[in-house]
């Protein structure tokens, strides 16, 4: 069985498996953590992704727009794409191909209330039923 990033149980104690990729990104846009599902989804090993810019998976034509939105989130401390609302975008894989992912973001604050990082949860919509 693959190493899964998230597992819970339902009321009948049956496992519920989630193969969403969970990536922690420093407020500067540098990837801090890259789970096994991110490896599978994007094709980059954790060692290849951690310490790199999120540009690693952002198509070049979308980078300017992405970083404007990222700056807004970091400066304002709010995101419109949380667990209640997602965004669908193309993303790059290691082999240069593109996939379409849905993502949401959670802001991670330090003990002083300042933004340290953002947790991004990606879902490859090719796997949707």
Calpha distance 107→101 (Å, rounded): 19
51 band by pLDDT with thresholds 50, 70 and 90: very high
pTM: 0.80
C-alpha closest to that of 93 among 44, 21, 46: 44
All structural domains of the chain, each given as residue ranges with its CATH number in brackets, are 19-122 (3.30.450.20)
Residue 10 has a pLDDT of 41
Residue 4 has a pLDDT of 36
pLDDT in tens, 114-127: 999 999 999 988 76
Output the CA–CA distances (angstroms, integers) from residue 35 to 23, 49, 124, in the order listed: 7, 10, 14
């Amino acid at each position: 069985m693959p190493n899964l990033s998230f597992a819970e149980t339902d009321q009948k104690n049956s496992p519920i498996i989630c193969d969403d990729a969970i990536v922690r990104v420093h407020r500067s846009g540098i990837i801090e953590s890259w789970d096994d599902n991110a490896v599978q989804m994007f094709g980059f090993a954790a060692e290849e992704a951690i310490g790199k810019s999120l540009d690693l998976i952002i198509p070049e034509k979308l980078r300017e727009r992405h970083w404007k939105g990222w700056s807004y989130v970091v400066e304002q401390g709010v995101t419109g794409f949380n667990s209640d609302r997602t965004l669908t975008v193309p993303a790059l894989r290691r082999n240069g191909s593109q996939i379409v992912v849905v993502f949401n973001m959670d802001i991670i604050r330090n003990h002083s209330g300042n933004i340290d990082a953002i947790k991004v949860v990606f879902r490859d919509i090719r796997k949707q039923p």
